[in-house]
Every structure is written in structure tokens, then in C-alpha cells.
Amino acid sequence: MMVAVNLLLAIASATAVSSHAVDTLQVETTIGLVHGIINSSTPYHNNIFGFPNACGQDEAGENVNMGVLDQRLAAEWVRDNIAAFGGDTSRMVLGGSSAAASCDFYSYAYPDDAIVSGFIFHSGCTGHGVNTDLAHTNFTFVAEHLGCVDLSLKRNSSICRNTGQLKWTTVIDKITKFENYTKRTLAGKYSKLPAIEGANANEEASLITWPGPAGLNMTYIHEKSLSVYICPAVHHTSLRFQGDSLTFFYFNEANFSSISPRPWEGAYHTSELPLLFGTWEDYGGPGTSVEASVSGHWQDVYLEFMKDPVRGLPRHGWPAFGPNGSAKLMGANGGVSQLMDISILQDECAGIPETYG
């Protein structure tokens, strides 16, 4: 008899604003079935394919975030089919990292029918992805250069003749993304399912332009890590608390040379994924026993969350977020995990504005 196991529906990590390949080493394996988890890695349309923001779509009232709709389609397919693979539909958790944490938008788009029983947001939340291409110039620029432009539209819409930096991100379509998440959260207009949320200590280290002989500006890296990733996660977790939702906050400081070979890299953006998915040995050579322990522990606590999103983590010493509470600190100072005062991060974020509208 096949025993039903827990399911992590992982939205493949990528960036919404530019084109790059997903590192398959991060997600190509399941979080071994010895841990009782099936990992369903789900790609979705990104950048121009997922969030085209085209003039014609906007004028027709059809300017929607197709990348978020992809996530919904994936959740529906898994719900309808995963039992055939041994998965338990009552233990489905939707998670993603970076732009894939746009599954947070999903939690607001489907407040009463989320399908899943919990969420995991790594290095991303509704505070990310502010659209600045209000004139829809990027899609038109590409269309013109590929010979696909609608000439009648070009003649009649002068704003569509502008060119800009080619970046795509989610737009406010009032279907999958809304205008004021603070107001919506406090009004209870979102899925109040439990969530895990957090960020890495040195996020920006892998995202900066290579500095060359000038060397690194570590102050800049720290400040950008705070303003773009850490503090939005802290603010969002606090907002969910005000909305009467359980959120379990983590902060990752794990720094292993097989994943972060340069001494200044530290816990950079997405560096936690090889640990979470158990693929850390496939990177820069053999790891350490501590690395194996951090990886195993991370998988174990996420398994407990999938089994019981409300009580699983508190039973294992990870309390839900509270204003004067604790966060889960991963891989700090050569250790596996410990609790840290959430006030440490809140104090660092005190002067950084929230970005929810």
C-alpha cells in the first residue's frame, strides 16, 4: 500500500524583472522521501512572458499577471493528481524564493480557496516588485524590434513609443495583485493560513555588479540586503501578525565554502536553497558535518510545518512571530540553529519604510 506523504509545491526560484536560468541544482531533487516529503518543483512564466504589461492588454482590460495564474494552475493540477504519486492533498504547502515568493500574492488572490494548508516565503513578499513602467513602454520596445508592433496602436498611443529599461514585474490588476496590502491585511482579505517567512543575512552579495579592482562596498551590500529583502520580510511578518495570522520567522546566516567560496559572500541570495533541498554536495565539493546537520535540520522543521502548520513548529521549539518574540537563526557561528530576539532585526529596520501602499 502506498503511504500518503507531505507535499512541498515549490515555485521555481527566479527573478521577475530579468531573464536568467534557474539553477537546477537547487530544486532538481526531492527533499528525499526519507524525510517524508515530495517536492513538486513548478516553473512559471516570468519577465515578459509572465508579466508583459502590454499597451494592448491594458486598453482591453486584460493586463493580468499570468505568472501568478500559472501558480494557481499548478496548485489545481497537483491537488487533482498528486494522490497518484503518493502525496497527501491535505498536507500541501506552497512556497517559493525570491520572485517565486510571489506566491504571497497568491495568498491574497485566493483568500477563501487557497488549496494549500500553508505558505513559505523565502526572500520575497508582497513588498517586492513595484511596477515603474506605467506607460507600458517595455513590451512595445520589444515588439517594435521584433517586427510585431500593432501600427494602428503605435500611431494612436504616443506613450507606447517611449523606450525604457527592459524590466518586467507584477502589475496591479486587482485580480492577482492589489493596491493596498496593509489595508487588505488588516481587513482580513487574504488567506490567513500559517506561513514561514525570512531572509538571508547577506542577500545582496550575489546580486551586485562585479566591482573589479575597486573591491566590494560591504556597507552597500548590508544596506541593500536590509532594504530590499530583510526589512520587507520583517514588516510583512508584523503585518500578518496584526491580521491575526501565524508566521514563523527565520534568519539565515549559514556560510559554507562549498556554497559560498568567496569569504565575503556569506549567506547570499538563494544560498539557503541547496541546504533546504539537500543538494549542497553538488556545488563546490564536499561539505562539512555541520553543513549536513543544518541541511537535515532545515528539512526536518519544514516537514513538521507541513504535517501541522499550526502546532508543528512550536512543538519543536520554533515559536510563531510576536512583537517581543523570537526568530529561528540558522547556521550562525558554526552552529545548526538557535533562537534570536526578533527585536534585533526590528531595530535595524526601524528607519526603513514599508513598501505595501
Domain residue ranges of the chain, discontinuous segments joined by +: 5-132+167-348
For residues 275-291, give the mean pLDDT. 88
pLDDT tens-place string over residues 248-278: 999 999 999 999 998 889 999 999 999 998 8
pLDDT tens-place string over residues 121-177: 999 887 655 666 666 777 777 877 777 755 454 444 444 444 445 777 788 888 999
**List 98, 117, 123, 337, catalytic entry:** 98
Q: Measured between alpha carbons, how far is 103 from 126 in angstroms, rounded to an integer?
A: 9
Contacts of 32 (CB under 8 A, 6+ apart): 278, 299
pLDDT tens-place string over residues 25-60: 444 444 444 456 777 777 778 888 888 878 877 777
Known catalytic membership, residue 98? yes
Q: How confident is the model at residue 82 (pLDDT cuts 50, 70, 90)?
A: confident
**List 97, 102, 203, 236, catalytic entry:** 203
For residues 68-75, give the mean pLDDT. 90
**List 35, 269, 291, 295, catalytic entry:** 269
pLDDT score, position 267: 97
DSSP track, 100-125: GGGHHHHHHH-SS--SSSEEEEES--
Q: Which of 208-212, 220-224, 285-289 has the lowest mean pLDDT?
A: 208-212
pLDDT tens-place string over residues 89-125: 888 999 888 876 678 889 999 999 999 999 999 998 8
2: helix, strand or coil: coil
Q: Which of 80-89, 200-209, 260-269 has the lowest mean pLDDT?
A: 80-89
Known catalytic membership, residue 203? yes
CATH superfamily for 5-132+167-348 is Alpha/Beta hydrolase fold, catalytic domain (3.40.50.1820)
**pLDDT higher than 50, residue 21:** no
Question: What does pTM read for this prediction?
Answer: 0.86
Known catalytic membership, residue 269? yes
Given a contact cutoff of 8 angstroms between Cβ atoms, the answer to whether 70 and 44 are in contact is yes
- Which cell is 323 given? 512583537
Q: Where are the alpha helices (DSSP H) in 110-191?
A: 137-145, 151-156, 181-186
